[in-house]
Amino acid sequence: MNKDKISIVILAAGQGSRMKSTKAKVLHSISGKPMLYHIIKSSVEISDDVTVVIAHQKESVKEQMNSYFSNITFVVQDAKNFPGTGGAMRDVRVKNEKVLVLNGDMPLITADSLKGFLDSDADIIMSIFNLVNPDGYGRVIIENTQVQKIVEQKDASADELKVTTVNAGVYAFSKSVIEKYIPLLNNDNAQKEYYLTDVIAMAKEDRLRISPLLVEEEYFKGINSKLDLAVAEEIMQNRIKSELMKSGVIMQLPQTTYIEDGVIFEGECIVENGCRITGKTLIVNSHIKAGTVIEDSIVKNSDVGPLAHLRPASFIEDTHIGNFVEVKKSSLKGVKAGHLSYIGDAQIDEGTNIGAGVITCNYDGINKHKTIIGKNVFVGSDSQLIAPITIEDDVMVAAGTTVRSGKIESGHLAVSSAKLRTIKDFYYKFFGKK
């Protein structure tokens, strides 16, 4: 693909008031990444000149996008004097002869879905789709098979509102069209905004060639509300999980599981129903059982769950993690932790067994401390390991022990439970005999 054929401009300066949120619309996330991330990712696949127009919360939009991409240009819209999608284009300068303009609230766009805009020589190619419910979109007025204009919903007459052919919000312009018509836009409309969509009527007047391109909502849906966000999330999730299954992951009831963009699976993996796997997680040759949550962790040759929680920076290898076990910022290699444990800030080595109900007490109220457990250690059920603590290889910790000492040496037994007392007939004295 020839990336210097086309420039791409992404309009991301709007506030997005219909989202009812203090966060800029384009920063709301879909499958773990901001909406704008998804659209830039598709754009840089086909263009070497990508400009993002920003204004509302411009610093955080810029900062977040710079953390993902190194070669995009930012232009700040003078949104006070020139509000609207046309105003957003005023200070944009592009390199290439063809310019694709995308709304920043279309996270479902893929590089493939944009190909249709690249191979026509019309002056303007504009995206349209037909919707049963066109609510919110600009209506495309077509007469004698020719596009005449786009009317925004708020400016539309009762008849125009009935039109179900709508502007999807992607346009390919030749550079000269942008240079000529953007400065001519006015804000004589219901929203007192400069509409990019008004370019169509002006170009039509001048007899330029405007060619409509029918696109699919699955790729070109605009996100205006949190309801739209949820609909787009489902589409994105289906894509992510379909790709994973195609590449060999077994998923049981995949529609019940959430997997973020960027999670990597290798080898033979099974993900049972109802799991949530997020962030920079890598899973290799492992079985993730029902209801498990994994965040920013690495899991290799292991089985985890059901109902386990791996919090960020957990490294699990050749290990069995059973139900109701929470692990955080810990490395477990060749370990069995089968039931009801909290393992935080720990390093646990091969052959070690963590009994039911074992807790690493890693936090003293001010600082977090490390627990280091060597090879072939047997930690009995219901023990508390008060960090900082080192348990050397071949140690036995008796059930119900509170280990306070800084170090338990190899070969030792640690036991803290008091001697058992039994009091004869206490039960009957207390409750009486029935």
Q: Is 291 in the site for Ca ion (CB under 5 A)?
A: no
Q: Which of 28, 339, 369, 412 is catalytic?
A: 339
Q: Which is nearer to ligand UD1, 195 or 219 (CB)?
A: 195
Residue 83 found at the interface with ligand UD1 (CB under 6 A):
yes
CB-nearer residue toward Ca ion: 35 or 263: 35
Binding residues for Mg(2+): 105, 224
Which residues 360-419 are close enough to bind ligand UD1 by CB under 6 A? none
Interaction of residue 7 with ligand UD1, rule CB under 6 A: no
Nearest approach, Cβ of 53 to ligand UD1 (angstroms)? 5
Residue number, 104 or 274, with CB nearest to ligand UD1: 104
Site for Ca ion in 218-257 (CB under 5 A): 222, 224
Q: Which does 166 bind (CB under 5 to 8 A by kind): Ca ion, ligand UD1, none?
A: ligand UD1
CB of 309 to ligand UD1, least distance (A): 36
Q: In angstroms, what is the minimal distance from the CB of 112 to Ca ion?
A: 22
Q: Which does 83 bind (CB under 5 to 8 A by kind): Ca ion, ligand UD1, none?
A: ligand UD1
For the chain, what is the HEC assignment?
CCCCCEEEEEECCCCCHHHCCCCCHHHCEECCEEHHHHHHHHHHHHCCEEEEEEECEHHHHHHHHHCCCCCEEEEECCCCCCCCCCHHHCCCCCCCCEEEEEECCCCCCCCHHHHHHCCCCCCEEEEEEECCCCCCCCEEEEECCEEEEEECHHHCCHHHHCCCEEEEEEEEEEHHHHHHHHHHCCCCCCCCCCCCCHHHHHHHHCCCCEEEEECCHHHHCCCCCHHHHHHHHHHHHHHHHHHHHHCCCEECCHHHCEECCCCEEECCCEECCCCEEECCCEEECCEECCCCEEECCEEECCEECCCCEECCCCEEECCEEEEEEEEECCEEECCEEEEEEEEECEEECCCCEECCCCEEECECCCCECCEEECCCCEECCCCEEECCEEECCCCEECCCCEECCCEECCCCEECCCCCCCCCCCHHHHHHCCC
In the complex, residue closest to ligand UD1 by CB: 138
- Return the residue of 57, 224, 297, 331 that touches ligand UD1, per CB under 6 A: 224
Print the binding letters for residues 96-125 with ligand UD1: x by CB under 6 A, - otherwise: -------xxx--------------------
Contact characters 166-185, ligand UD1, x per CB under 6 A: xxxx----------------
According to the binding rule CB under 6 A, does residue 88 interact with ligand UD1?
Answer: yes
Nearer to Ca ion, 222 or 355 (CB): 222
Which sequence positions are flagged as catalytic? 339
List contacts with ligand UD1 (CB under 6 A): 11-14, 26, 53, 77, 79, 83-85, 87-88, 103-105, 137-138, 150, 152, 166-169, 195-197, 222, 224
List contacts with Ca ion (CB under 5 A): 105, 222, 224
